[in-house]
Amino acid sequence: MDAARHVFSVDLLERYATKGRGTITCMAAGNDVILLGTSKGWVIRHDFGSGNSYDIDLSAGKGGEQPVHTVFVDPGGIHCIATVLSSGGVETYYTHAKWSKPRILNKLKGLVVKAVAWNRQQITEASTREVIIGTDNGQLYEIAVDEKDKKEKYIKLLFELAELPEAFTGLQMETASASNATRYYVMAVTPTRLYSFTGIGSLDTVFASYSDRAVHFMELPGEIPNSELHFFIKQKRAEHFAWLSGTGIYHGDLNFGAQHSSSPNGDENFVENKALLAYFKLNEGTEAIRPKSLAVSEFHFLLLIGDKVKVVNRISEQIIEELFFDHASEPVSGGVIGLCSDASAGLFYAYDQNSVFQVSVRDEGRDMWQVYLDMKEFASALAHCRDPLQRDQVYLVQAETAFSSKDFVRAASFFAKINYILSFEEITLKFIGVGEQDALRTFLLRKLDNLTKDDKCQVTMISTWATELYLDKINRLLLEDDTATENRTSEYQTIIREFRAFLSDCKDVLDEATTMRLLESYGRVDELVYFAGLKEHYEIVVHHYIKQGEAKKALEVLQKPAVPIDLQYKFAPDLIMLDAYETVECWMNTSNLNPRRLIPAMMRYSSEPHAKNETHEVIKYLEFCVHRLHNEDPGVHNLLLSLYAKQEDDSALLRFLQCKFGKGRENGPEFFYDPKYALRLCLKEKRMRACVHIYSMMSMHEEAVALALQVDTELAMAEADKVEDDEDLRKKLWLMVAKHVIEQEKGAKRENIRKAIAFLKETDGLLKIEDILPFFPDFALIDDFKEAICSSLEDYNKQIEQLKQEMNDATRGADNIRKDISALTQRYAIIDREEECGFIWLPVSLF
């Protein structure tokens, strides 16, 4: 590979790093701090963060070889545990970053510490908190050390291998919160097995629970003394693990949020996507060589094989690089001893007997998209793409894979996501070449989804093309001669719904005129109407519904707030003829209608014949306008009056004429119709009672009484009695009635006269006998008038007595009173004498 493309690189960090304190035997790193254990019992601490370096003597001046067997440091680079082997036994030391002298952990005396697991989530600078220690005799201990106590707080035996006692060579621990408690996850390895433990509570509680249940482990064939276990840590949380086993690298993902039931394969189920990278895959020859050490990065394994490090992609399991170390300047070198990692700093180290090398990582995820792509793991490939060109490469492979398998619709979806490496024309020609119109339509639709509003021309062009493809598909479905009629109908309905949804989504980008022409040329009237509705061309929509006889749908469109009110007036004549009830209901529910502009439609409806018992919808609407809306338009009132006049029953007409619609207004008219028009209409329709009312209303009382006499005497009398402020006129009207009554009676003379006398009583004294005598025949028996004459005489007597009283009260002049009395007396004498005879001439001139 080109050096510029290398992900990993090796640099010499420290030559003769032990400063003459012996050779390097072991190494640990954390938070930019490295600790080297030497063959002479020293721990050399290099703090690259602060630049400090100092040596810690663990031999305490004891003679002989006392090599540091193992050294461990926490992720923060603060706490250190080291084990020293000597002829006198095994000692384990603890040292703090602030200390210059170590402290022996007496409770671990005699135990060879082979592995340490730190509690990364809870450890502090002042305390290690709980730490798990694995020994060479297959035991796990819990220990805790506080910096101020300078000794271990406690030590507890957690677990011991009884069935197969082996050294624990690797330990890792993770914690997570669970229901206000702490859940522990512990993984431990021996040369042949991987053990996993989990539980809630304290560590001793978790391990104690395995006294009555099986311990879960994974056993692989082969034995490797230098077995190692590593977690890859990202943001203080382990994401995946790797075990250097005798067979290969056993690895997988860690999911600490999973349900924690047991798994029969030997792991707790927080381990996912497990895999084994066999060693034979890493060697060119036939013999599999086991690595001496292992380090784990986010995407790679670093395997120390011989004197070089092979970098293996853990996803593809391919060797991507080989790292070599420069030992040229060293007089004696036994080669690289081991690897260690600094999870906090993201660095890796290698060491031989004298030197420390730093293995740096530079953007190791940059080519992972290609790795996943080569493995056909497209979702992961897309997740690791860094730029649009890389994404285009992934989409292209997906598209070509689907295209080659003849899954053209799926291929279209992927082709639509490509923006740079293939042109629009190249892709469309692919589908045209294989005659896949459906896939081409899918491509266009998906392409529209990926375009922005700024690409107006391209959006309009693609939308129009898609419209034509939809129409072509609809027509092909209609023309297909397929026996599976039901399936074809279902597909047809589906494509119609899909097309309408497309029109709705693209109504703002489609060219209106072009789309209308397309829909019309394909004969898609329903879709044309639908699109017109989307574009708010309501006139087309309403016209279509009327043509289809669907008045209710047309009215629903007209009632939309955005529809101009003028369309109500325009289509009113057609709608009321189509469905008068629904139309009138619509009018009554529309608040801003002007009823005057609906008169042509109402007249058209009214001109048609209707059944006797049928509700006249126009009358209903006009009554609503007049009574509920208090409409004052003369045209509306005139039309309602004309419809009333044409009904057989004139009761509604009479009620209407008697209503005083302007009563609530100051100085307002009592009615709003044209009385002259009303009179002509009622005369034409022979509504005489209505005419009488109109004459009376127009103060044409004589005409009213004359016409009323042709209808009903009682009506005439009522009309005559309406005049109150003109005594002469009132008397004249009553005389007209009297004359009519006398002339119309054709019974015996005596009976006629008696009826006339009875009529006089109804005038309340307005008419006297002498007023109606001229209407009788020239000769009549006086006996027939006796009652009336007596009544008149009584009236005269009352008047005489009244006048006398007035004279006594001196309210009138004496002469006038005498004259009145004389006249009355004379008249009374005449009548009295004539009454003595059996009959008398009654000429008119006498009175």
| pLDDT, average across residues 328-347 | 81
Query: How confident is residue 223, by pLDDT bands cut at 50, 70 and 90?
Result: confident
Write out the two tokens for 426.
Answer: 């190249």
Distance CA 19, CA 36 (A): 11
Entry field: residues in the chain: 847
For residue 476, pLDDT beyond 70: yes
Query: How confident is residue 228, by pLDDT bands cut at 50, 70 and 90?
Result: very high
| pLDDT, average across residues 800-829 | 62
3-class SS string, 307-352: CEEEEEECCCCCEEEEEECCCCCCCCCCCCCEEEEECCCCEEEEEC
Range in 118-132, 407-421, 681-695 the model is least confident about: 681-695
Distance CA 666, CA 656 (A): 21
For residue 475, pLDDT beyond 60: yes
pLDDT of residue 685: 84
The residue among 778, 777, 795 whose CA lies nearest residue 831 is 795
pLDDT of residue 728: 72
Query: How confident is residue 794, by pLDDT bands cut at 50, 70 and 90?
Result: low
For residue 331, pLDDT beyond 70: no
Kindly report the average pLDDT of the chain as a whole number: 84
Residues 24-72 pLDDT 10s:
999 999 999 999 999 999 999 999 888 888 899 988 766 667 899 999 9
Distance CA 500, CA 714 (A): 72
Distance CA 153, CA 645 (A): 114
Distance CA 151, CA 739 (A): 144
Distance CA 673, CA 523 (A): 51
For residue 846, pLDDT beyond 50: no
Distance CA 557, CA 136 (A): 87
Distance CA 89, CA 83 (A): 11
DSSP code string of 401-440: HHHHTT-HHHHHHHHTT--SSS-HHHHHHHHHHTT-HHHH
pLDDT of residue 834: 45
For residue 764, pLDDT beyond 70: no
| pLDDT, average across residues 281-292 | 78
Residues 146-175 pLDDT 10s:
988 888 889 999 999 988 889 999 999 999
| pLDDT, average across residues 81-105 | 90
Amino acid identity of 542?
Answer: V
Residue written as token pair 């489609």: 510
Distances (CA, A) of 779 to 746, 774, 782: 16, 11, 9
SS3 state of residue 6 = coil
Of the two residues 276 and 758, the one the predictor is more confident about is 276
Residues 173-219 pLDDT 10s:
999 887 788 899 999 999 999 999 999 989 999 999 988 888 899 99
Write out the two tokens for 310.
Answer: 């092979």
| pLDDT, average across residues 411-435 | 94
Whether the model clears a pTM of 0.75, i.e. scores above it, the answer is no
DSSP code string of 654-670: HHHHH--TTTTSTT--S
Distance CA 441, CA 470 (A): 8
Distance CA 19, CA 10 (A): 22
The residue among 76, 62, 236 whose CA lies nearest residue 147 is 76
Query: How confident is residue 409, by pLDDT bands cut at 50, 70 and 90?
Result: very high
Distance CA 720, CA 706 (A): 10
Contact between residue 421 and residue 393 where contact means Cβ atoms under 8 Å apart: yes
Query: How confident is residue 801, by pLDDT bands cut at 50, 70 and 90?
Result: confident
Write out the two tokens for 362.
Answer: 């530079």
| pLDDT, average across residues 462-468 | 95
Q: List all residues 6 or more positions away from 535 whose beta carbon is below 8 Å from its beta carbon.
A: 507, 512
pLDDT of residue 267: 45
| pLDDT, average across residues 266-284 | 79
Distance CA 703, CA 72 (A): 130
The whole-angstrom distance between residue 135's C-alpha and the CA centroid of its chain comes to: 61
Instruction: Give the orientation angle of helix 634-645 with respect to helix 599-606, to 10 degrees.
Output: 10
Distance CA 38, CA 24 (A): 5
Structural domains in the chain, CATH included, are: 8-364 (2.130.10.10), 731-794 (no CATH), 807-846 (no CATH)
SS3 state of residue 760 = helix
Q: Which residues pair with 96 in a beta bridge?
A: 79
Distances (CA, A) of 186 to 179, 199, 504: 19, 9, 58
Distance CA 104, CA 726 (A): 139
Residues 545-581 pLDDT 10s:
898 899 999 999 899 888 899 999 999 999 999 999 9
